[in-house]
Amino acid sequence: MIRILIADDHTLFREGVRLLLEREGFCVVGEAADGEEAVRLAQQLEVDVHVLDFGMPVLNGIDAAREIRRKDPEAKMVLLTMYQDETYVLEALRAGFAGYVFKAQTDSDLVHTLREVAQGALYLGPNIPQSVIEVLTSNTQSAESLTERERQVVDLIADGKTSKQIAQVLGLSPKTIESHRSRIMQKLNFEQSTQLVCYAVRTQLSKPVKRR
Amino acid sequence: MKVDMKKRIVLADDHPMFRQGLKALLEREGFNIVGEASNGHEVIQMVRQLNPLLVILDFGMPLLNGIDAAREIQKRSPDTQILLLTMFEDDAYVLEALRAGIRGYVLKAQAATDLINAIREVLRGSIYLSPGVSEVVVKAYVTKQYQPSELLTDRERQVLQLVAEGNTTKKIASLLGLSVKTAESHRTRIMSKLDIHDTAGLVRYAIRRGLIMP
């Protein structure tokens, strides 16, 4: 029987997933409501696969995974998330996740992923963005990630600054900022500026916070 | 599993995995899930067709949020009780929710037993507000200082949500059955009311208010 640890801050969601998994013959050995609790339980319990939500208080799923991996390099982990941006998928893979499931998928997708990962596979379902596969199969992984300057621009966008204000803060011309923006949009495969704003706010929210 | 035909429920949430888990939990308690919807417009139609005893609405759904969907459901299907599920604890929308006809307000961070409890209370005609949330209402009542936290009309809020989701004015007009010109003037009015003058600002406002997920 495959032993599972579930970490998600929404009890209702956790209990639902637990019931679905138990029906499929999995054994849910623990539940955590935040990233820190997940790290602690991962050490105390015998777990075959850790299922971590991305957006959790105290410590997000990706940073929790890094901790779990540091203490147990063999740990198998699946990320559960609402976000399909390739940057998150790549970040998750770098953090040691062997599976990635979107909350918009179904429970059978989760079950399938857990079985594959439990056997030691790296499993990315059919919903994985094509761009991720392109990055994974090319040798130019770092080429498409954002530069430090671009990340600064993203941070300032999240703060609600206009291009003009960003230009002032960074001591650049508004025109340069505009070209950074369009380069970022291109790298992240965004078509609309609203996508960029959402991305920026999300990135800011996901920065490691120690306390709520 | 015993299924009581009288306990007919429709579920609306944009995440199938959450819906399936919820469905399994409720069926275990003898409720009968007769329909599942993934956005606000879909659930309004579904409730009208299926006429369930209760509908459980997620607050943050694409196209139309749970509270605005509730308002429509209350109008068109007054026999159906409405319960809202939300992630937001200090939600400025609690009073708004009550006015929209929502009789149960449950946080996703609560346990299944709390939800089941809330469902039973709502079906008996009571109002159930999750702990924490109920303080907002009591405080508002006691101080009588409650100012509508929302400057926008229902229609404006719907337009705001669609703008923040990245829809063009033309698309918004067709989704809401308005002329492009009317949609455009809603947009202008929203910006002047909120004193926000760029789309990025509207997106951030919508995120803060929980209308869209970042």
Alpha-carbon gap: A197 to the closest alpha carbon of chain B (Å): 6
Cβ contact B22:B13 at 8 Å: yes
With 80 as the cut, is the pLDDT of residue A143 above it?
Answer: no
Element containing residue B207 per DSSP (H, E): helix B199-208
Most B-contacting residue of A31, A58, A194 (CB-CB within 10 A), to test interface: A194
What does the alpha-carbon distance between residue B144 and residue B156 come to, in Å, rounded to a whole number? 26
3-class DSSP assignment, residue B211: coil
- Confidence category of residue B143, pLDDT binned at 50, 70, 90: low
Q: In terms of CA atoms, which chain B residue is nearest residue A204?
A: B214
- Residue A18, token pair as written in the block: 């637990």
What does the alpha-carbon distance between residue A12 and residue B42 come to, in Å, rounded to a whole number? 23
- Give buried/exposed letters for A29-59 (b at 16+ CB in 10 A, else e): bbbbbbbbbbbebbeeeebbbbbbbbbbebb
Alpha-carbon gap: B28 to the closest alpha carbon of chain A (Å): 10
Higher pLDDT, A189 or A109: A109
Where are the alpha helices (H) located in chain A, listed in sequence order? 11-23, 35-44, 61-71, 86-94, 107-118, 130-137, 148-158, 163-170, 174-187, 193-205
DSSP string, B54-98: EEEEESS-SSS-HHHHHHHHHHH-TTSEEEEEES-TT-TTHHHHH
Q: In terms of CA atoms, which chain B residue is nearest residue A160?
A: B201
Higher pLDDT, B137 or B209: B209
Question: B17 to chain A: which residues are within 8 Å by CB?
Answer: 13, 17, 101, 103-107, 110
Secondary structure letter of residue B120 according to DSSP: H
With 60 as the cut, is the pLDDT of residue B9 above it?
Answer: yes
B34-37 contact pairs (CB < 8 A, 24+): B34/B8, B34/B9, B34/B10, B35/B10, B35/B11, B36/B10, B36/B11, B36/B12, B37/B10, B37/B11, B37/B12
Q: In terms of CA atoms, which chain A residue is nearest residue B17?
A: A106
- Residue B69, token pair as written in the block: 């969907």
B15 touches chain A (CB under 8 A): yes
- Confidence category of residue B25, pLDDT binned at 50, 70, 90: very high
Per the listing, tokens 């300032």 go with A156
With 50 as the cut, is the pLDDT of residue B158 above it?
Answer: yes
Q: Please report, as a single letter, which amino acid is at residue A199.
A: Y
Q: What is the mean pLDDT of residues A75-104?
A: 87
Closest to B52 measured CA to CA, from B81, B85, B22: B81
**Residue ranges of B 69-108 with Cβ closer than 8 A to chain A:** 85, 87, 106, 108
Question: A10 to chain B: which residues are within 8 Å by CB?
Answer: 87, 108-109
Instruction: Give the pLDDT confidence of A120-129 residue by residue, as tens digits.
Output: 988 887 777 7
Per the listing, tokens 């990055």 go with A135
Higher pLDDT, A124 or B1: A124
Q: What is the mean pLDDT of residues B148-159?
A: 80
- Confidence category of residue A97, pLDDT binned at 50, 70, 90: very high
Cα radius of gyration (chain A): 19
What's the mean per-residue pLDDT of chain B?
Answer: 88
With 70 as the cut, is the pLDDT of residue B182 above it?
Answer: yes
What does the alpha-carbon distance between residue B2 and residue A201 come to, in Å, rounded to a whole number? 46
Q: In terms of CA atoms, which chain A residue is nearest residue B115?
A: A12
Alpha-carbon gap: B112 to the closest alpha carbon of chain A (Å): 6
Instruction: Give the pLDDT confidence of B70-81 residue by residue, as tens digits.
Output: 999 999 999 999
pLDDT at A205: 64
3-class DSSP assignment, residue A32: strand
Higher pLDDT, B5 or B48: B48
- Residue B66, token pair as written in the block: 């749970």
With 50 as the cut, is the pLDDT of residue B214 above it?
Answer: yes
Higher pLDDT, A85 or B126: B126
* Longest CA–CA separation in chain A, Å: 60
| A interface with B, Cβ–Cβ below 8 Å | 9-13, 15-20, 23, 33, 82, 101, 103-107, 110, 157, 160, 162, 192-195, 197-199, 201-202, 205
Cβ contact A84:A199 at 8 Å: no
Q: Is the ipTM of this complex over 0.85?
A: no
Q: What is the mean pLDDT of residues A36-55?
A: 96
Q: What is the mean pLDDT of residues B75-102?
A: 86
pLDDT > 70: what percent of chain B? Answer: 90
Q: Name residue A7's beta-bridge partners.
A: A32, A52
- Confidence category of residue A209, pLDDT binned at 50, 70, 90: very low
Q: What is the mean pLDDT of residues A79-98?
A: 85
pLDDT at B84: 96
What does the alpha-carbon distance between residue A173 and residue A15 come to, in Å, rounded to a whole number? 52
Q: How many helices (H) and strands (E) does chain B have?
A: 10, 6
B166 touches chain A (CB under 8 A): yes
Higher pLDDT, B164 or A210: B164
Alpha-carbon gap: B144 to the closest alpha carbon of chain A (Å): 31
Question: A107 to chain B: which residues are within 8 Å by CB?
Answer: 16-17, 20-21
Instruction: Give the pLDDT confidence of A151-190 residue by residue, as tens digits.
Output: 889 888 888 888 899 999 999 999 999 999 999 988 887 8
End-to-end CA distance of chain B: 39
